[in-house]
Amino acid sequence: MSSDQAVQDIVTPLENTTIASASDQKAEQIVDPWNVQGAIVDGKQLGIDYDRLIESFGTRKIEEALLNRMETLTGRKPHVLLRRGVFFSHRELSSILDRYEQKKPFYLYTGRGPSSDNMHLGHMVPFLFCQYLQEVFGCPLVIQLTDDEKFLFKPNLKLEDCIRFSKQNAKDIIACGFNPEKTFIFSDLLHVGGPFYHNVVRISRCITYSQSKSTFGFIESDNVGKSHFVCIQAAPSFSNSFPHIFGTRSDIPCLIPCAIDQDPYFRLTRDVAHKLKYPKPALIHAKFFPALQGPGTKMSASVDTSAIFMTDTATQIKNKINRHAFSGGGATMELHKEHGGKPEEDIPFQYLSFFLDDDEEIEEIEKNYRAGTLSTGDLKKRCIEVLQKFVGDFQKRKEAITDEVVEKYMTPRSMNIDLSA
Amino acid sequence: MSSDQAVQDIVTPLENTTIASASDQKAEQIVDPWNVQGAIVDGKQLGIDYDRLIESFGTRKIEEALLNRMETLTGRKPHVLLRRGVFFSHRELSSILDRYEQKKPFYLYTGRGPSSDNMHLGHMVPFLFCQYLQEVFGCPLVIQLTDDEKFLFKPNLKLEDCIRFSKQNAKDIIACGFNPEKTFIFSDLLHVGGPFYHNVVRISRCITYSQSKSTFGFIESDNVGKSHFVCIQAAPSFSNSFPHIFGTRSDIPCLIPCAIDQDPYFRLTRDVAHKLKYPKPALIHAKFFPALQGPGTKMSASVDTSAIFMTDTATQIKNKINRHAFSGGGATMELHKEHGGKPEEDIPFQYLSFFLDDDEEIEEIEKNYRAGTLSTGDLKKRCIEVLQKFVGDFQKRKEAITDEVVEKYMTPRSMNIDLSA
């Protein structure tokens, strides 16, 4: 047993931390699956306090030693999103590394709520990371498209739209480069049934309305689908939900890479796992991908000027960064040269830290920006180049993803996994 | 539009009618999907007050005129369960008769919660009636086995047991003589998915937790599956849940024969139908089949001495009626001859009224019993004969129902329904 398995999950209610400020203004950090907003202190929107989230959610910080172990075990340099601390928190990641070391099977599970046909840069983060994990671990990956959730939570959407969004989003996801032999992408609306539904029902017998209410903040006038939905999102955590991959085996654990706001779902899932005698899912949590407007909230597909979409042209990317990206630089060129910039508040710098793989270059940029020797304009220019290349390469890969390719990824099928260990 | 379509559904909370009694004893009639208990007044267990149920549920009494219309339209004498008032209440039955008259399609929907592999006489009632309706109307019938509900509401059951009960119960149901070309029997655990699940999700967006709670009396420590389950039971009310039968048509209404305790599910369903622009299901409600112990509660599979099971031998039936059946006769033979018996309280008489088709004979029996000229022993003897024959014939029919026959009824398939009208 790895050391962190002993840590009990601390199930807290929604993370709504009130911070007393010097002025009269009350400031709350809000993090739940539907809202992400940093605290506001003296009228200023702060970034998300991630250490506080680790504390209140009861997760563990990813320490250097864990990264080193991962590197030693896999023989691969940790992914840029690990090196930059974007994936910063976890639950029982060590137990998955133990299984990798012992050549015992495990799988990856991640998901997406397809609320529109447009995916943006922030949506790419868990998928880029999963692609890396799948490559280094050589393990199966299941990707849940929660089109039923989007339908339940967005009263204006039609069911047919949600299914269409699922299929369109699947193309973007596939363009991240997943192994077609080991990746199963499914839409809830098209796939729920059979052994998957059996687990949904088993899970729903283990979660009280009271627990769902307090975990997600529902009220009695919310529809019954909402308080029940956690059972649908929990089901892929258990291997016997996928008999075409794992047969009847219910003892194969998964690792769930996801943004930290999804943790409440999996805290409940881990409780349920215990009751059902299934292994608890392990988790690895990402920070949010900030909106163009600043690090206090996350990029949103429903606010056009907050996001760089995967369909944006090179010119659109350039204009969005130049016009909308919040700068941590000095107010004037003179002030910038004198006092330097603040990379931790600077959106172009933040985006570079997600997408620029070269550690030396990013260190150089940070140092020079802080010193004021790198201008805001030049920083933005480099950010634009990197994003244009990332989005451009993505668009080329996506062109090759036909409906037939999507169909293949979305068909339940055997993956010839070695289940002997 | 038939006249009763205009009647608005009155959605009341659980039927828990407090009746003030002369003594200190409070007496409540309890009728919900999990409990049926007549009022207790001065320590005496009364029968169910069905007129009160019609009033508080807001349904309509089945009047002579409606029965006459049915007889004229179908050219068939109303079923014994209609003639004896066992099916006593309805919602919009006339609208289904209108469609029958206009040769427009409709279907029947009924169900069963398979909580054990034993079905008893009381369980037969809706199925016998459905068999008759299917025969006279020549329409499709869908039968839902709510094994998921049983799993959610009974913490000691295993999922595998619930599925096994479904398949075993299907044999008993098929033995009631349904048309194999027009009957689809399905287990929720085996069938939920696809267009059926789409309707479940659509329905769950229309029902608030508050509505489910107040309709069924849930508390916050109940599992989330319970408050959500109404969506699963509602789904078969809508024709597009069964694309193999009705294609994408969502405008074909159904008639639901069921015991009156199931009405709360369908009151909510009728509200939802309005929101989803689907036709409201029509209903026809049965009284409860009384326990051997008396007319104040219903026969229960979990109380062995309350029930005559469809697996009972002729001797077991004889012994159960003789030893356990509550008698409405005089306390002694002399008193019986002097004052007569009370058929309305007498369980053997009640059972005869469900199963003895001969109107003249039942009238004769009632008259003579009331007069005291028919003894309790002779009444019981006639009841035993009738039940032994009914159960014996059933058992012979059931012998022929192989697993392959069950498989056939439970396979989604086309029914070649004329959908032109």
Residue B15's DSSP bridge partners are: B31
Asked if A225's CB is within 8 angstroms of B205's CB, the reply is yes
pLDDT value at A88 more than 70: yes
Coil/strand/helix, residue B41: strand
pLDDT above 80: residue A419: yes
Averaged pLDDT of chain B: 92
Per-residue model confidence (pLDDT) at position A14: 53
Inter-chain contact A209–B231, Cβ cutoff 8 Å?
no
Whether A189 contacts chain B with CB within 8 A:
yes
DSSP, collapsed to helix, strand or coil, labels residue B348 as helix
From CA B63, how far away is CA B88, in angstroms rounded? 8
Token couple for A113: 């709520």
A209–B221 C-beta distance less than 8 A:
yes
Mutate to test the interface with B, among A223, A226, A241, A248 (most CBs of B within 10 A): A223
Q: Please state, in angstroms and as integers, the Cα–Cα distance from residue A121 to each residue in A125, A165, A176, following that order.
A: 7, 17, 12
Confidence of residue B6 (pLDDT cuts 50, 70, 90): very low
State the count of interchain CB pairs (< 8 A) between A and B: 114
Interface contact flag, A193 B193, Cβ < 8 Å: yes
Asked if A105 and A415 count as a contact pair (C-beta separation under 8 A), the reply is no
Q: Is the predicted pLDDT of residue A6 greater than 80, yes or no?
A: no
pLDDT-above-90 percentage for chain B: 83
Residue A9 has pLDDT above 80, yes or no: no
Average pLDDT over residues B283-305: 88
The per-residue pLDDT for B1 is 37
A205, A216, A220, A221, best to mutate vs chain B, most B CBs in 10 Å: A205
Residue of A nearest to B160 (CA): A198
Residue B119 has pLDDT above 60, yes or no: yes
Q: Mark yes or no for CB contact B210/A220 under 8 Å.
A: yes
Which residues does chain B have within 8 Å of residue A197's beta carbon, measured at their own beta carbons?
148, 189, 192-193, 197
Chain B contact for A50 (CB, 8 A cutoff): no
Interchain pair A224, B202: CB under 8 A = no
CA nearest B92: which of B216, B21, B6, B207?
B6
What pLDDT, on the 0 to 100 scale, is given for residue B10? 45
Taking the CA of residue A102 and the nearest CA in chain B, the distance in Å comes to 33
Which residues in chain A are closer than 8 Å to B210, comparing Cβ atoms?
A: 220-221
Contact flag A209-B225 (C-beta cutoff 8 Å): no
- Chain A nearest CA to B153, separation (Å): 8
Q: Which residue of A has its CA nearest to B225?
A: A204
Neighbours of B110 (CB within 10 A): 23
Q: For chain A, give the mean pLDDT.
A: 92
- Please state the rounded mean pLDDT for residues A116-135: 94
User: B411: Cβ–Cβ under 8 A, 6 or more apart, which residues?
Assistant: none
Q: From chain A, pick out residues whose CB is under 8 angstroms from the CB of B213.
A: 220
- Quick check: A221 contacting B, CB < 8 Å? yes
In eight-state DSSP terms, residue B7 is S
Structure token digits, residue A366: 């940070």
> CB of A243 within 8 A of CB of A195?
yes
DSSP state, residue B88: E
In this prediction, residue A127 has a pLDDT band, given cuts at 50, 70 and 90, of very high
User: From the CA of B99, how many Å to the nearest CA of chain A?
Assistant: 30
Cβ contact A205–B231 (<8 Å): no
pTM score: 0.92
Quick check: A156 contacting B, CB < 8 Å? no
Q: So what's the pLDDT on residue A47? A: 85
Q: Of B166, B69, B70, B66, which is closest to residue B116 (Cα–Cα)?
A: B166
- Quick check: B201 and A231 CB within 8 A? no
DSSP character at residue A120: B
**Separation in Å, CA of B270 to nearest CA in chain A:** 16
Closest CA to B340 of B351, B353, B331: B331
The mean per-residue pLDDT over the stretch A36-40 comes to: 87
Q: What is the average pLDDT across B317-346? A: 94
Asked if B208's CB is within 8 angstroms of A223's CB, the reply is yes
Enumerate the β-bridge partners of residue A187: A145
Q: List chain A residues with CB under 8 Å of B192.
A: 192-193, 197
Whether the pLDDT of residue A240 is over 50: the answer is: yes
pLDDT 10s digits, A53-66? 999 999 999 999 99
Give the whole-angstrom CA distance, residue B240 versus residue B45.
45
Q: What DSSP line would sit under B357-418, residue for residue?
A: --HHHHHHHHHHHHHT-S-HHHHHHHHHHHHHHHHHHHHHHHHT--HHHHHHHTS-------
pLDDT band for position B13 (cuts 50, 70, 90): very low
Say what the pLDDT of residue B297 is. 80
C-alpha distance from B185 to closest chain A C-alpha (Å): 16
Query: How far does the CA of residue B166 sit from the closest CA of chain A (Å)?
Result: 14
Q: Which amino acid is at B149?
A: E
**A154: distance to nearest CA of chain B, Å?**
9
Contact B197 A189 (CB under 8 A): yes
SS3 content of chain A, % helix, strand, coil (to 5): 50, 15, 35
